[in-house]
Amino acid sequence: MLAMEYRGPYRVRPNPHKPDPEIEHPHDAIVQVTRSCICGSDLHLYHGLVPDTRVGSTFGHEFIGRVVETGSAVQNLRTGDAVLVPFNVFCGACYFCQRELYSNCHNTNPEATAVGGIYGYSHTTGGYDGGQAQYVRVPMADVGPIKIPPELDHDDAVLLTDALPTGYQAAEMGDIEPGDTVVVFGAGPVGIFAAKSAWLMGAGRVIVVDHVEYRLDFVRRYAQCEVVNFREVDDMAIHLKKMTDWLGADVCIDAVGCEAEGSLLQRLTGVRLKLQAGAATVLHWAINSARKGGRISIVGVYGPTFNLVPIGNALNKGLTLRMNQASVRRHLPRLIEHIQAGHLRPRDIITHRVPLEEVADAYHLFSSKLDHCIKTVLIPPGIAH
C-alpha cells in the first residue's frame, strides 16, 4: 500500500511498497482510510522533537475510513462501515478508561506510562502506525471508532477525530463561567476551535494570540473574536492586563505547545539545544497573564522531560492548572449535536486537499505556513476528493 514514511527531521516521503496492515489481535479492525489530516502536533514529530520517533514510521492520528476487515472478537463493526477513529488507542476497561480518561489508557502503550496509545505518534505513544496511508490497523475497534452518522459531512467527521474535541476540551478544562474573558494562545486549528468552544460555554470575551497574520485574520472572522499579534506587543502580560482592566484573563488556554515562538531564550533552550522539553513561552505568558484565582488550560503538546515555567507565580496567584490529551470519544455525541445544530462548522478550516502521493509537499506547506495553510487533508489514491 501507499503510506507516508518518516525518514528523519524535516524529511518524509510516500512509500508505495509499505506492507498492508494485518489483524494482530482479536479486537482489531483494518480500516481503509478515506481522509487523513496533518495535525499541528505531527509537526513536533516532523521536526524531530519527540523521542523514539523511528525512521520508517507512518504518522497520522486524524483519519476516517471504511472497515475492510474485523478481528474475531469485534462485535460492533462490520465490513463496509464508515468510521470516525478517535486519535486515542484505548481499551475501555482499565482503571483510567473506566473513569472516561481514555487518553490515559493503561493497556495500549507498553513504551511509556505517562501517556496513552496514539496512532502514528512515535513509540513513546505505543508504536502504532498512523492513518496517513491507504490502510491502517485499528486496535480495540469496538470501543474507539464510531460509525459516521449518514448526515455528517466527512470533512466534519475527520476533524472530530482530534482537532475539534481537543479545542473543545481545552475550553472545558478552563471551567468557563458566563462572562469570562478567555485568552487562547495559538490560532492553529485547535486554538480556533478552542475559541469557538469558549463562546458555547458563555464566555464574555475571547482573545486569540498568535503572530501569523493570515491565521489571525481567519480566526477573527471564523470565531468572531479579538486578536493580538504578539510581534506587535512589547510585553504580553502587560498588554493582556491592559486589555482586561488590569486584572488579567479569567482563563488562559495553551493551544501551541513545545514549538512556540516569541522568546529567544525558550527557543534556544527548548527547540535548538533540547535542554528542556520544548519552548514553554506560552506557559510563561499564560501564567503571568491570568488573573489571580484564574485557570490555565493546556492542550499544547510538550516533551517528557521538564520546562522553564514560573510556577511560583502560579502558586502566588492561586491559579488552577488543568491539562490532558483530549479523550475524544466522550466528546463526540455532544459535538455532533453542535454540528447538526449549526453551532459549529469545522470543515470551514480546511484550506488544502493534497493527494497522499504529495505528502512531503503537504508537510512542508503546513510546517512553513505557506499558501495561507490552516488545515491540510490528505487523500489516498482512488478516493474521491
Min. distance of Cβ 8 from another protein in angstroms? 3
CB atoms within 10 A of CB 10: 12
Nearer of residues 97 and 216 to another protein, judged by Cβ: 97
In the region spanning residues 361 to 380, those forming contacts with another protein, defined by CB under 8 A, are: 361-365, 367-368, 370-371
Nearer of residues 173 and 384 to another protein, judged by Cβ: 173
Min. distance of Cβ 54 from another protein in angstroms? 4
CB 87 within 8 A of CB 118: yes
Q: Which stretch binds another protein (CB under 8 A): 8-16, 29-37, 183-191, 258-266?
A: 8-16
Q: Which stretch binds another protein (CB under 8 A): 20-28, 150-158, 183-191, 258-266?
A: 20-28
Provide φ and ψ at 58, rounded to 5°: -110, 125
42 lies in the site for another protein, by CB under 8 A: no
Residues 6 or more apart whose CB falls under 8 angstroms from that of 22 comprise 30, 137
In the region spanning residues 79 to 98, those forming contacts with another protein, defined by CB under 8 A, are: 89, 91-94, 97-98
Q: Which stretch binds another protein (CB under 8 A): 116-124, 259-267, 312-320, 377-385?
A: 116-124
243 lies in the site for another protein, by CB under 8 A: no
C-alpha 251/C-alpha 33 separation (Å) is 37
Q: Which stretch binds another protein (CB under 8 A): 80-88, 102-110, 256-264, 280-288?
A: 102-110
72 lies in the site for another protein, by CB under 8 A: no
C-alpha 167/C-alpha 57 separation (Å) is 27
Among 56, 293, 318, 381, binds another protein (CB under 8 A): 56
In the region spanning residues 123 to 152, those forming contacts with another protein, defined by CB under 8 A, are: 123-124, 126-129, 139-140, 142-143
C-alpha 89/C-alpha 138 separation (Å) is 8
Among 16, 149, 179, 381, binds another protein (CB under 8 A): 179
48 lies in the site for another protein, by CB under 8 A: yes
H-run or E-run covering 54: none
Q: Which stretch binds another protein (CB under 8 A): 32-40, 62-70, 169-177, 254-262?
A: 169-177
Q: Which residues pair with 279 in a beta bridge?
A: 259
Nearer of residues 186 and 303 to another protein, judged by Cβ: 303
C-alpha 84/C-alpha 332 separation (Å) is 10
229 lies in the site for another protein, by CB under 8 A: no
In the region spanning residues 282 to 311, those forming contacts with another protein, defined by CB under 8 A, are: 303-306
Min. distance of Cβ 106 from another protein in angstroms? 7
CB 204 within 8 A of CB 224: no
Dihedral of alpha carbons 116, 125, 129, 84, sign: positive
> How many residues lie near another protein (CB under 8 A)?
103
Nearer of residues 199 and 347 to another protein, judged by Cβ: 199
Name the pairing type of β-strands 205-210 and 226-229: parallel
H and E: helices and strands count for the chain? 11, 17
Look at residues 52, 49, 188, 175 and name the one whose alpha carbon lies nearest to residue 122.
52
Name the pairing type of β-strands 135-138 and 320-323: unpaired
Look at residues 262, 158, 178, 145 and name the one whose alpha carbon lies nearest to residue 212.
262
In the region spanning residues 251 to 270, those forming contacts with another protein, defined by CB under 8 A, are: none
CB atoms within 10 A of CB 324: 15
Nearer of residues 32 and 367 to another protein, judged by Cβ: 367
Provide φ and ψ at 33, rounded to 5°: -75, 135
C-alpha 240/C-alpha 16 separation (Å) is 50
Among 16, 26, 318, 381, binds another protein (CB under 8 A): 26
220 lies in the site for another protein, by CB under 8 A: no
Among 47, 106, 220, 267, binds another protein (CB under 8 A): 106
29 lies in the site for another protein, by CB under 8 A: no
| Grid cell locating 124 | 513513546
| Grid cell locating 3 | 503510506
In the region spanning residues 321 to 360, those forming contacts with another protein, defined by CB under 8 A, are: 322, 324, 327, 329-331, 333-334, 338, 341-344, 358, 360
